[in-house]
Structure 1
Amino acid sequence: MSENKIIKAIRDKGKTMEAEMSFFDHLEALRWHLVRASVAIVIFTSFVFYFYDWIFDTIIMGPSRPTFWTYRMLCEIGAALHRSGFCIDKINIQLINTEMAGQFTLQINSALIIGITLGVPYLIWEIWRFVKPALHEKERKAATGFVFYACMLFFMGVLFGYYVITPMSINFLSGYTVSTKIQNLFSIDSYISSVATLTLATGVVFELPILVYILSNLGVLTPKFMRETRRYAVVIILVIAAIVTPTPDMLTMTVVSIPLFVLYEVSIVVAGLVEKRKLKRHDEIMS
């Protein structure tokens, strides 16, 4: 009897060790996926660092100049509508550096931010490679194009944040004063932080359909629930638009809100497709 107990204990211990080894094997695999993604980000960061002069003058400082694409388009829209006040001829912004190593750390930090942004597609691909083996064949087919759509939505958000939200916010905030006795002198760190936050935050917000897709597969969200809570979503979207664009005019809030409304409606469609696929799978099992 005791011998049987010993044998059973050995078998249980073997199963436990096998499970532990499997867990650590997964951790090891994840580590290498993250290492490769980190190497890719370092390569992109080095590339940005090498061409930093052009990137800084053209891309980073672009929204601070009246010749920026967005400001020129506003002028053309105003001319087409025969409305004055659309043209932005001057951006009241003066940038200063207040730290000894400020410009050096500025170059490193901004190059790293852009490197991470460029490396997002590869990071998503590596995460997908890690998750993919754990999925069933049908789940893999259902998730076909996940990396492409996730990257596409992210960069659409980044472009929208860079060309729409960032210049509008900079134009408003740089000229806003509470008193003529106070002169606006902005640190370069504050400027870089504002551009990066507005741009990357919009890129993350544009991933809403992907998040809804995942939550729908987990059974957390349904299209019926999203339709019923649409009125609350409208309020939340308006609040987000007000936070992302610290400008008081309704035009800016409307421009920012419209893509978010579209994303929400697209998310409802995505949730509906997931629900139809689940019902179809259920019918196949029952039949």
Structure 2
Amino acid sequence: MPRLPRRKSRDPQGRMALGDHLRELRNRVLVAAIAIVIAAVPGWIWYKDLLSILTAPMRSAGGRINYPNLTDPFTVQFSVALFVAFLLSSPVWLYQIWAFIVPGLTKKEKRTAIAFIFCAVPLFLSGCWLAYETLPKAVVILLGFTPEDASAMNIMPASDYLRFVTRFILAFGAAFLLPVFLVALNLAHVLSAELMLKGWRVAVIGLFFFAAIMTPTPDPWTMFSLALPMIGLYYLACGIAWLIDRRRAKDRPDWSQVSDDQASPL
């Protein structure tokens, strides 16, 4: 009987050739894409109820949506299904991102990284929930710029409104993943806690700048609602990275801390 080719064992240090990296990336992307397609089925089936939830802020502000083009009903339904798919499949595609990063870590650090996989999904969904809670105020502020003589004409194409809402919610969700990826960089020996704390001024300014770009309203409330949680999560990531660095320092042997001009205990 012909023997099947044996699967190539992983390097204990996580080293991979360029071709192996590309194949790994292809497989991860394929798994994430399949999960998104499967998760889009509930969004397609319960499209009307989900559309009612997403358009509630617009209706409460006195606005309406319409379908000016022939293909808009299909486009809107597809957009809602895809948006729901990203939310439902977030455990899968977030895990695939981590699984692509994990091979570059040691076995001990992999066990630590697994814990952060379970933190990423609640953080992402919490950001999406905060965005939906902030959305009604954002819609009211934006519609408030409508002239009084045209206030009765606040009718927006459904595709444009859904594009604004879904990007707004997903941007908040992605922003809440900041501590997960900061800790991932720390685990990969790219970013230390000391460096993160030294650059806190630049980080805070950058987070406010990011929040100002991602929140389309001119009021400071919407910007602060995104920037302040991100700053808190940034310092949380600094604390976790500090604990990881402290544990590494304890596990490091004494002879590795001797300078080059001194004799080591070995």
Q: TM-score, normalising length from structure 1?
A: 0.73
Q: How high is the sequence identity, in percent, across the aligned residues?
A: 31
What residue identity is the alignment partner of 2:223? M
1:207 aligns with 2:177: yes
Q: How far, CA to CA, are the matches of 1:128 and 1:236 in structure 2?
A: 24
Q: What is the 5 A alignment of 1:1-287?
A: 27-28=22-23, 30-57=25-52, 59-66=53-60, 91-129=61-99, 132=102, 135-164=105-134, 166-177=135-146, 180=149, 183-283=153-253, 286=256
Q: How far, CA to CA, are the matches of 1:256 and 1:172 in structure 2?
A: 16
Q: How far, CA to CA, are the matches of 1:237 and 1:151 in structure 2?
A: 21
Task: Quickly say closer, same or farther: Cα 1:46–1:265, change in 2 above 3 A.
Answer: same
Q: How far, CA to CA, are the matches of 1:212 and 1:99 in structure 2?
A: 44
Structure 1 gaps, min length 5 = 1-20, 67-90
Q: How far, CA to CA, are the matches of 2:232 and 2:38 in structure 1?
A: 35
Q: From the CA coordinates, give the structure whose radius of gyration is larger.
A: 1
Q: CA deviation at 1:137?
A: 1.9
What residue identity is the alignment partner of 2:133? Y
Task: Quickly say closer, same or farther: Cα 1:180–1:234, change in 2 above 3 A.
Answer: farther
Give the secondary structure class of the aligned counterpart of 2:70: coil
What residue identity is the alignment partner of 1:56? L
Contact 1:45–1:111 (CA<8 Å) still a contact in 2?
Answer: yes
Q: CA deviation at 1:196?
A: 0.6
What residue identity is the alignment partner of 2:57? P
Give the secondary structure class of the aligned counterpart of 1:95: strand
Task: Quickly say closer, same or farther: Cα 1:29–1:253, change in 2 above 3 A.
Answer: closer
Cα deviations across residues 184-217 of structure 1 (Å, max 9, x unaligned)? 3311111101111110011111111112112223
Q: C-alpha root-mean-square deviation of aligned residues, in Å?
A: 2.8
Give the secondary structure class of the aligned counterpart of 2:114: coil
Structure 2 gaps, min length 5 = 1-15, 257-264
Q: CA deviation at 1:239?
A: 2.5
Task: Quickly say closer, same or farther: Cα 1:211–1:32, change in 2 above 3 A.
Answer: closer
Q: How far, CA to CA, are the matches of 2:220 and 2:75 in structure 1?
A: 37
Cα deviations across residues 114-163 of structure 1 (Å, max 9, x unaligned)? 21221121122344445555643212222131321111211111111122
Q: How far, CA to CA, are the matches of 1:227 and 1:23 in structure 2?
A: 34
Name the counterpart of 1:86.
none
Task: Quickly say closer, same or farther: Cα 1:226–1:45, change in 2 above 3 A.
Answer: same
Q: How far, CA to CA, are the matches of 1:284 and 1:195 in structure 2?
A: 55
Q: How far, CA to CA, are the matches of 1:242 and 1:29 in structure 2?
A: 36
Contact 2:208–2:227 (CA<8 Å) still a contact in 1?
Answer: yes
The structure with more helix, counted as a fraction of residues: 1
Task: Quickly say closer, same or farther: Cα 1:30–1:260, change in 2 above 3 A.
Answer: closer
Number of corresponding residues: 241
Task: Quickly say closer, same or farther: Cα 1:33–1:239, change in 2 above 3 A.
Answer: closer
Q: How far, CA to CA, are the matches of 2:223 and 2:20 in structure 1?
A: 49
Task: Quickly say closer, same or farther: Cα 1:274–1:285, change in 2 above 3 A.
Answer: farther
Cα deviations across residues 25-76 of structure 1 (Å, max 9, x unaligned)? 665555444333322211111121111122211x22232243xxxxxxxxxx
